[in-house]
A and B are shown apart, each in its own frame.
Chain A
Amino acid sequence: MEVRIEDLVKRFDDVIAVNKVNATFESGKLIALLGPSGCGKSTMLNMLSGIMPVTEGKIYFDDRDVTMLSPDKREVGLVFQNYALYPHMSVLENICFPLKIKRVPKAERIEKAKEYARMVHIDDYLDRLPKELSGGQQQRVAIARALVKQPKLLLLDEPLSNLDAKLRVEMREEIRRIQRESGVTTVFVTHDQEEATSISDYIMLMKLGVKQQFAKTRNLYNDPANLFVADFIGNPTINQLHGIYEKGNFRPDAYENAIPIGRYQIEDGSRVVFASRPESVIVEKKNGKTVMEVEETYVSGKDTLCVLKAGDGRLRAYVDNDSAPQEKDLVSVSFRDRGVFVFNEESGERYYE
């Protein structure tokens, strides 16, 4: 099912939690609502589920306006951050509950519950109580319970935040698998960009209630709409140097030499932020242009991360282990075309070539 939101607004007294958000979630995709805490992502999810009334705007499921529909009529499944399993019911009873409410005959609902328990790999624990399960297992039960009534839309609120690091990686792959297998349109909320980028098809990045960018996951990295997006996505964080743009050159505040960056549609003398992904920084033997000193090096796998001193500023660059410079070496720096962006310093808006 396709989900379309139009000018969605949520106001709490004076605070605007979600501000005029528009988006269309393609059917059968896994969509991440990403952003720092307080960005309105959970509020969005709660409005999609119907738990929270909408202040302004519309929500459509396919062509049906569901803005005013109560949660039980929306055919959504919701997995809570704390899973919200009913503590007095066994795993099987928990999964059966939505069907029981729908008055599905007992034999049929048990059959179905077992089918979904198998799908989430929890079928060995059907008689256990939630408190006898690990966090990951509880998570699986919660997902099965959300899926058993065959919702048109599955919503997951910070699904991995209560799990330890190892389980988190395992469960996010599981969520991916289960989503593929069931084919249900899925929206999940997270504050962890790595989590979002590793499994989702699309990401909507939000900040203070405003949509920053909604795009295919890869595009968010390769083609950020503004400085906030460029900064939020990617680990290590994108390099940022502040300075002035002048005739195809960037003149950093913190560094004496101008860096040639090519032509942008920017007025000469404007203040800009020059941002570059660490893998887009080319480090060569000193050859006269844009010389910097290597401050520190860290070996990680096949690459070495070099921290370069650009006056008061710092640049991080990935270099092949074989050609990695030593600390204190002087090197020449240039940039690839990909992964290099220029933003308006004040508004964070991106300039294009």
Chain B
Amino acid sequence: MKNRTDRVKSFMQYLTLFIGAAIMFLPFFWMINSSFKTEKELLSFQSFFPKQLLIDNFRQAWEMGDFPRYFGNSVFVTVVCVALTMFVTILAAYGFSKLKFPGRDLIFTVLVSMMMIPYEMLMLTNYETIRHMHLFGKIWSLIVPFTSSIFYTYILRNFFLSVPDSLYQSARIDGASDWQYLWEIMVPMAKPSLVTIALLDAITCWNSFMWTMLMSSGNRNIRTLPFGLTAFTSEAGVHYNLWMAGATIVVIPMIVLFLFCRKSIITGVSRGGLKG
């Protein structure tokens, strides 16, 4: 039973939302749209859409910009970093939720309060530490400092804490050790939390910029996509068609990930925002 004003209201609501959505989406659209245009087409604004879908820009950027290497590095860093982080986080979350030892919760509270330290403050020393470890200019320098995450441990620990102790005792009586209990019972149960953590970590790793920039100043071969792209733009000069193709290469994998895991990413972010 909708009357006229209601219909007008609802129309205005959707109109506003779609205009906003269009503005939010514009950069993506313009990026992909432009990546198929020739440079001439692009500067002259002859037509809104590309005349034909040129993959020439991609080919050129791919070859000129060392993108195969950057892409490989990004994939390697993301996969290894996520895998290691997950492993370390699972163990730590278990330790901080299910092992009973004096001072456990106090230690964890202190750790949680350390989440407010800005990374920029730690960067100076970590830069030196990486040098001392002889990792500077090596790809592992992009991974090693980031495998212990207090925030992910915090999320997973909260889940582990919600699992009743009777499950643990039951598994112990069934003959399982702590190790078996963790991997056979807790980890499968925590799948939703783990997926969220893995996604958030993958996004962070893939997009990491400043640290990569610092670490790759000694060796351009370890650049990952985001900084590789920035470097490419200053090396290749202003060719917007190539820029857009390069940007598309960097962004597409994450967009695909987003389209598949929208719900998990959104819940992960909303949980993360209130972390403190």
Contact = CB atoms under 8 A, between A and B. Distances in A.
A72 B180 contact: no
Contact of A71 (B164, B167, B172, B180): B172
Interface stretch (A2-10, A82-90, A255-263, A305-313): A82-90
A345 B177 CA distance: 52
Given A84-B164, A86-B185, A88-B188, A101 B173 contact: no
A278 B60 CA distance: 100
Contacts of A49: 169, 173
Nearest to A157: B166
A78 B169 CA distance: 9
A72 B171 CA distance: 9
Nearest to A49: B173
B189 interface: yes
Interface in A31-47: none
Contact of A84 (B170, B175, B180, B188): B170
Given A51-B169, A78-B169, A80-B169, A101 B188 contact: no
B166 A101 contact: no
15 contacts: A70-B172, A71-B172, A72-B175, A78-B173, A80-B166, A81-B166, A84-B169, A84-B170, A87-B189, A88-B188, A98-B175, A101-B174, A101-B175, A101-B180, A145-B174
A77 interface: yes
A97 interface: yes
Interface in B183-219: 184-185, 188-189, 191
Query: Quick one: which of B167, B177, B189 has the most chain A CB within 10 A?
Result: B167
Interface of B: 164, 166-167, 169-177, 180, 184-185, 188-189, 191
Contact of A149 (B175, B184, B191): B175
A340 interface: no
What are the 10 tightest A-B residue pairs by CB atom distance, in nearest-first order?
Answer: A98-B174, A84-B166, A84-B170, A101-B175, A72-B175, A80-B166, A88-B188, A71-B173, A78-B173, A71-B172
Contacts of B175: 72, 98, 101-102, 149
A79 to B, nearest CB: 9
Contacts of B171: 86, 97
B172 to A, nearest CB: 5
B161 to A, nearest CB: 16
A97 B174 contact: yes
A30 interface: no
Query: Quick one: which of B169, B174, B180, B184 has the most chain A CB within 10 A?
Result: B174
B167 A86 contact: yes
Contact of B173 (A72, A81, A82, A100): A72
A78 B188 contact: no
Contacts of B174: 72, 97-98, 101, 145, 149
Query: Quick one: which of B166, B173, B175 has the most chain A CB within 10 A?
Result: B173
B239 to A, nearest CB: 52
Contact of A80 (B170, B177, B184, B185): B170
Contact of B170 (A50, A78, A88, A100): A78
B176 A71 contact: no
Contacts of B164: 82, 84
A97 B184 CA distance: 9
Interface string A51-95: 100000000000000000011101011101110101111000000
Contacts of B176: 72, 97, 101
Contacts of B191: 88
A88 B172 contact: no
Query: Quick one: which of B169, B170, B171, B191 has the most chain A CB within 10 A?
Result: B170
A77 B170 CA distance: 9
A51 B177 CA distance: 13
A70 to B, nearest CB: 8
Contacts of A77: 173
A276 B19 CA distance: 86
Given A49-B169, A71-B169, A72-B173, 15 more contacts: A50-B173, A71-B173, A72-B174, A72-B175, A72-B177, A78-B170, A84-B166, A84-B167, A84-B169, A87-B189, A88-B191, A97-B174, A97-B184, A101-B180, A145-B174
A72 B177 CA distance: 8
Contacts of B167: 84, 86
